[in-house]
Structure formats: C-alpha cells, structure tokens
Homo-oligomer: A and B are copies of this chain.
Amino acid sequence: MAQRTAHVHEPYEIELTGPRTPIRADQVPLRAEFTHESGQAMTVLGFWDGERRYLARLAPPLAGTWTWRTTSAAPELDARTGEFTAEPAPSTGTHGIVRVAERFHFAHADGTPFRPVGATVYNWIHQDEELRSQTVDSLSEAGLNKLRFMVFPQAGGYVEHFPELMPFEKTADGWDVGRPVIEFFRRLDSLVADLGAHGIEADVLIFDAYDRGVFGLNDLTEDQDAAYLRYLVARLGAYPNVWWSLCNEFDQMTDRPTERWTRAGELLAEIDAHEHLRSIHNWVELYDYNQPWVTHASIQNGFATETFGRASLYRDVYRKPVVLDEIKYEGDTERWGRLSAEELVDRFWITTSSGCYASHGESFVTESASLHIVEGGRLRGRSPARLGFLRQVLDGLKVPGLDPIDKWDDPACVVGRPREQYLVYLGREAPAEWTFRLPQGHDGDRLEVGDAFEIQIIDTWNMTIATAPEQFVLTDVQRNDAYATGNNPLALPAGEAIALLITRA
C-alpha cells in the first residue's frame, strides 16, 4: 500500500488483493492491527468487497503516524504492512464517535456533547434514491440529528416498497450469508456517510423483527447472525456516526430466547474496536439494559413520557443514558401513531426534564399508503421544527447534560446541574407567573444567599426565547429549596408550553 493522508475520526481504508477464490464471509478474511506512534493499538476485522478486493477500515482516534500489519489464514492477505499519517480533524469536520459521557449523557470523541433528538425511518435504505435523499434533506432541515433505520428490509403493514437489493446471495438452501451482495453494502456505506455529512448519527438496526418470513432473514441461524454481524462491523465500524442497535422491538421475535440477544450483544462489544454505542429496542418486554454490553437504554414506552416523573425512573434502574426511542408518533393512524404535534413536542420536553432523550417518528398515511416511519420522504408534521428548536436549546446548554436535581422529592422535576444551570418545563399550559424556587439536591455545590440567576423564557411551541427583565437573587436558602423573596414572580405567557432555562450569572 502506498502511504495516504488520513484524518482523525474519519474512515481510513487499506485495500488488499486476496486469493482468486473469494473467502466466504462466514470466515473473517483478515484482521489488521493499527498502531499509533504512541503505542496505542486497535485491531479491526477486514472484509471482502467483491472479486479479489479486501478492505480494513479504521477511524484513527489520534493524529500522527500509524503503522499497520495484517494477519490472515490466506497467504495473500497475511503479514501485509503499511504506514500512514493521520492529520487532525478539520475544524469543519466530525467530532468523532459518540459515546457515553457523564453517566447519563453523550459526547463525541473530542468531548463535544451530543444531545440526540432523533428520527425513525425503518425501511429508509430500501427506497429509491430520490426518496432516500428527500428523507435526509428533510431531517437535516428540521435539525434532527439521529436516524434509526434497519439494514434488513421491513415487511408487513404500511410497506409498499419491496427492496431491489438484498444483503446476501440466495441459493436453493436459502440466504448465503457467506456471500454478501457487495452492491447492497456499498450502498449502505454511502448512505451512512451521507448521514454523517448531514450531521446525522446512523442508529443502525442490525436484525429485523418485522420480516415474519416474508424475506426469510428472520430465519438465519445464530452462526449466520454472527457472520453477518462481523461483516457489518468490519464495514461500518470506521464511520464515526454509527450507533448499533441489535433490533427494533426485539421481543416480537418470540422464537429467540433473550440469551441469544445477549450473546449477539456481547459479540458486538468484542469485535467492535471502535466502541460505538450499543443497545437494543423493545416491543412490550424490556431488555435488561444492566447487561454490561449495553451502553445505553433504548426504550419503547410512550407512556413513560406522557407526564412528569416516569422516564426518570429508568435512569435509576439502568444508571446509563436513557433514550426513549419510540414514544408514539405524530400522525393519523392507530393509537401508536396519532399524537398531535403538540402532544409529541410536549413529550420531548417532559423527557428532557426527566434527564432522558427521545426520538421522533411520523405516521401520517402517505400517498403511497405508507408512513414516514417506514419509507421516509419529506416530513409533513408540525413537530419536527419544534424538535429542531429543542435541539438548539440543548446544544446551547452550558452544562454537559440535564439531571434531576432532587430526584424523588421535587414535584417540579427541575433538571440541570446544581448552582450552574437549571431547566424547568412547566407543561403545555404555563401559569401566568412563576415564583422563583430552586431545589438544592444531594450532590454538587449548595446554593447560597446572594447567588444570582438569569432566566430565559422558552416558548417550546412558538419557538421563541425571551430573557427575563431582571436577575433573580437568592435570599432564603433552606435545607431542600432556595427562594428569591426579593424578586416579584416572573410573568409568563399563560397557557403556552413554556420552559425556563435558569443560568447562574
């Protein structure tokens, strides 16, 4: 290999020529160990890319000189070496892989906080190019920053597009996972890269609970699953915007014991040298997100986001970031998909004031008798713009994340970081005035008399932010709460869906 320039946090690829007869993908064709000049090393799986072409990909986490060396059972691919230099990430570029930060939150590899305000288009990659682009453009315009989509095609209700490409070759015996369809996976590469270019994380749903025998991809053996998983991780692992989700509604696959999902998750953790986020998403039975392979909880439960004090309970249970990845949809279909935009936006703010995150989905029946959550396209609902606005508010936070300040005791569910910044969401109908009060909480700095705060009055529906005319200064600090008795109550636009962002001056 000739030396090439690479960038930190961006995929760098080495290409090798393998034997005349392709190595089947149910064997790992090669491994490549990349070693940074500091001594830090990462070993990634290589993969077959058609004909005699084999690739190994790395997103270098550090700038500087990297050397690499392969191991393989095939002499052509074994003991190959090379070297390249990784330049620092360009200032306009990616911030790197998103991982867990501050226990309940997320940050890119370079430390930049990431607040997921995601979307859902299950069958996105199986649509035609125009629809796919429209989907990404529309999400990007709205300001949504994560997309949940399936690798395998969706079957069942509301699905009108049948895939032109399938992931594996088909034989008389069924799918041959050892022979991936290169065109399929190259498309997947480019779609993930395109999301990245639009600032959207790719929440990749690896297995498919909606096949139900239509395509037969639900009938793979556990060994076949593992071969596919290795191939997928080898292929996509160097894209910095990848998140892994084993399955959407995993428990719809009633013939798979939970232990099989756990083994798949553990394999994923073992083989992904890039350490992307890992989770799995439920239907009616929750997975045990306390399993060590799980990085964050990815939960379907709209009920938990309907009112205050519910979603936060999951934080205590899992002690990991909690993403409510399906909270019912804005639309006009069944009861899982007929929220008003106002209701859905309210749920996002309630979720935020529970110290959790949520994902959007839209389920108006489209001209093709499908739904946006299935095929994508242009968003037509009124919630996406408001969710983009929420994301702006989150991205403007001074603190890395919002945590309940006085969990289990604060009826107002104030979140934030003690003595730094607080968010109070007042629900869909704000009162005409709000009397300043902050909870002390158990951890962090304690509030003191004289502490002064600025308040931004956020209209979550009308998407305006107004600064309160005066600062609020603490005069009365008690064991559990603190008050600004020298200030008059804050006047509010009564009846609107108002949140208050309170920042220490």
Name the residue on B nearest A410 (C-beta): B303
**Interface size of A as a range:** 20 to 34
Give residues 483-499 of A contacting B (CB, 8 Å). Answer: none
The answer, among B306, B309, B314, for a CB contact under 8 Å with A303, is B309
Give residues 324-362 of A contacting B (CB, 8 Å). Answer: 335
Copies in the complex: 2
B286 A316 Cβ-Cβ under 8 A: yes
* Chain B residues closer than 8 Å to A313, beta-carbon distance: 301, 304, 310, 313-314
Residue A285 CB within 8 A of the other chain: yes
State how many angstroms separate the Cβ of A312 from the closest Cβ of chain B.
Answer: 9
Query: CA of A121 to CA of B442 in the docked complex: distance in angstroms?
Result: 26
B304 A306 Cβ-Cβ under 8 A: no
The answer, among B288, B290, B303, for a CB contact under 8 Å with A407, is B303
25 residue pairs A–B, Cβ–Cβ below 8 Å: A284-B442, A285-B316, A285-B319, A286-B316, A286-B317, A288-B290, A290-B290, A301-B313, A301-B316, A301-B408, A303-B407, A303-B409, A304-B313, A304-B408, A306-B309, A307-B307, A309-B310, A310-B310, A310-B313, A313-B313, A313-B314, A314-B317, A317-B317, A335-B409, A335-B480
* Chain B residues closer than 8 Å to A480, beta-carbon distance: 335
B309 A307 Cβ-Cβ under 8 A: yes
State how many angstroms separate the Cβ of A403 from the closest Cβ of chain B.
Answer: 13
* Chain B residues closer than 8 Å to A285, beta-carbon distance: 316, 319
Query: CA of A303 to CA of B307 in the docked complex: distance in angstroms?
Result: 14
The 10 closest A-B pairs by CB, nearest first: A303-B408, A286-B316, A288-B290, A317-B317, A313-B313, A310-B310, A301-B408, A286-B317, A290-B290, A309-B310
Residue A377 CB within 8 A of the other chain: no
| Of listed A286, A314, A442, residue having the most chain B CB within 10 A | A286
State how many angstroms separate the Cβ of A381 from the closest Cβ of chain B.
Answer: 21
Chain A facing B: main interface SS: loop
* Chain B residues closer than 8 Å to A301, beta-carbon distance: 313, 316, 408
Name the residue on B nearest A334 (C-beta): B479
Name the residue on B nearest A480 (C-beta): B335
* Chain B residues closer than 8 Å to A284, beta-carbon distance: 407-408, 442
Name the residue on B nearest A317 (C-beta): B317
State how many angstroms separate the Cβ of A201 from the closest Cβ of chain B.
Answer: 26
* Chain B residues closer than 8 Å to A309, beta-carbon distance: 303, 306-307, 310
Query: CA of A314 to CA of B304 in the docked complex: distance in angstroms?
Result: 11
State how many angstroms separate the Cβ of A334 from the closest Cβ of chain B.
Answer: 9
Residue A302 CB within 8 A of the other chain: yes
* Chain B residues closer than 8 Å to A307, beta-carbon distance: 307, 309
| Of listed A284, A302, A316, residue having the most chain B CB within 10 A | A316
Give residues 271-325 of A contacting B (CB, 8 Å). Answer: 284-286, 288, 290, 301-304, 306-307, 309-310, 313-314, 316-317, 319
* Chain B residues closer than 8 Å to A335, beta-carbon distance: 409, 480
* Chain B residues closer than 8 Å to A306, beta-carbon distance: 309
Given contacts A310-B309, A317-B314, contact A408 B302 (CB under 8 A): yes
